[in-house]
Amino acid sequence: MSSPKQPIALVTGANTGIGRAIATSLARDHHYTVLIGSRKLPAGKEVASSLTAQGHSAHAVQLDLTSDDSISAAVTLVQEKFGRLDVLVNNAGIYLDAYKPTVQEPPVRELFVRTFQTNVFGAAVLTDALLPLLVKSTEENGPRIVWVSSSMASMERILDKSTNYYHMRNTAYVCSKAALNMLALKYVQLLESECGEGKGRSLVVCPGLVRSNLNDNWEAAERLPEDGAR
């Protein structure tokens, strides 16, 4: 059962992989009320039911980042049920670039459009729509927005030949994450403007190369979702 004093976190793409591990840790280890954002509602309900069965507070939220109607409905649900949001974890993402020989890339334009629709446009629309609820956070230091990005999108490191991803063909993915990084920086400004100086944080994190559905459980990825979530 949730308590009015419990912080509330919405995690996108929380039915599997890193997102599920983040939601589980927030509920179990940090006593958050977690909102399980998932494109398919039954998948989100399965995770929420598992957490509530363990005595934690969790709710499923249908959330398709490529649909403005879905985003609007999700925001309305959060507004009506909780009236505020303390933490938003923009975790949902797709990786369509060919990262191993058995993966077939879509045509370039489709590759970029589909990648940016989820990884950038969807995150931007959702965060903008949730900003009024984040501003109402009751946390002492204000709301937090966490953007799950990648060190592969670092403009400082992209040409570093010593990295293990220098020769990877992942142009659409890294460009989308670089754009996400800029979104995060803009929200540093926006949160300061909306919440006041020193209130609210916009944070970019890199979970490392994690084996998950995002990369078809690629054997080269040695980290587990729990490692990335931590």
* pLDDT exceeds cutoff 70 at 1: no
Model pLDDT for residues 86-117, shown as the tens digit of each residue: 999 999 999 898 665 566 778 999 999 999 99
In the prediction, which pLDDT does 170 show? 87
Question: Where along the chain do its domains lie?
Answer: 8-229
Half-sphere CA count of 224, side-chain side, radius 13 A: 3
Question: What does pLDDT average to over the chain?
Answer: 90
The string of pLDDT tens digits covering residues 114-154 is 999 999 999 999 999 999 999 999 999 999 999 999 888 88
Instruction: Report the 10 Å Cβ neighbour count for 196.
Output: 10
Could you tell me which residues come within 8 angstroms of residue 113 by beta carbon, excluding any fewer than 6 positions away?
Answer: none
| Residue-by-residue DSSP string for 91-110 | ------S--STTPPPPPHHH
CATH 3.40.50.720 is the classification of domain 8-229 = yes
Q: E strand or H helix at 52, and its extent?
A: helix 41-53
Strand partners, 145: 88, 202
Report the pLDDT value the prediction gives residue 2, as an integer from 0 to 100.
54
Residue 217's pLDDT is 56
The stretch 154-183 carries a mean pLDDT of 85
More confident residue, 166 or 26: 26
Provide the percentage of residues in the chain whose pLDDT is more than 90: 70
Of residues 15 and 198, more confidence is placed in: 15
Q: Tell me whether residue 136 is exposed, middle or buried, using C-beta atoms within 10 angstroms of its C-beta: 0 to 12, 13 to 18, 19 or more.
A: middle
Select from 107, 86, 114 the least CA-distant residue to 176: 114
| Catalytic residue positions, numbered | 150, 177
Q: In terms of residues, how long is the chain?
A: 230
Mean pLDDT (whole number) for 165-177? 85
Mean pLDDT of 10-23: 95
